[in-house]
Amino acid sequence: MKKSATKKSAAKASNKDFFILRLYIAGQTPNSVTAIANLKKICEDKLKGKYRIEVVDLLEKPQLAKGDQIIAIPTLVRRLPPPVKKIIGNLSKTESVIVGLDLQPAR
């Protein structure tokens, strides 16, 4: 029984430590390109292999905007760990993005 409990604890810890981030963009606009680059840099600096980025181009798949209630682009949605969080913009305000994603506490 202890092994099972240990596996469950490890799974919960790994789910809490793993981030699934979905970035909604519309084509290769300057804001979209900047948001992608900024997100990759933040993830490499703060999450180091504990993340997955999904980039959704709404020009190709507009129906996907409804699921996450996207009203502006670019929009970053943190799908895991819960709760879901959203950040709108090109993610150039790095400290705000880090706090918004709960990667470090607000000062």
Q: What is the DSSP string of 35-75?
A: HHHHHHHHHHHHTTTSEEEEEEETTT-TTHHHHTT--SSSE
**Residue 5 domain flag:** no
**Residue 25 domain flag:** yes
**Residue 76 domain flag:** yes
**Residue 12 domain flag:** no
Residue 36 reports pLDDT greater than 60 = yes
Task: Give me the pLDDT at residue 9, please.
Answer: 37
**Residue 106 domain flag:** no
**Residue 83 domain flag:** yes
- Mean of the per-residue pLDDT values of the chain: 86
- CA-closest candidate to residue 41, choices 106, 97, 100: 97
pTM equals 0.82
pLDDT tens track for 19-28 = 999 999 999 9
CATH of the domain at 80: 3.40.30.10
**Residue 37 domain flag:** yes
The residue range of the domain holding 88 is: 19-100
The tally of domains found in the chain comes to: 1
**Residue 78 domain flag:** yes
pLDDT tens track for 40-94 = 999 999 999 999 999 999 999 999 999 899 999 999 999 999 999 999 999 999 9
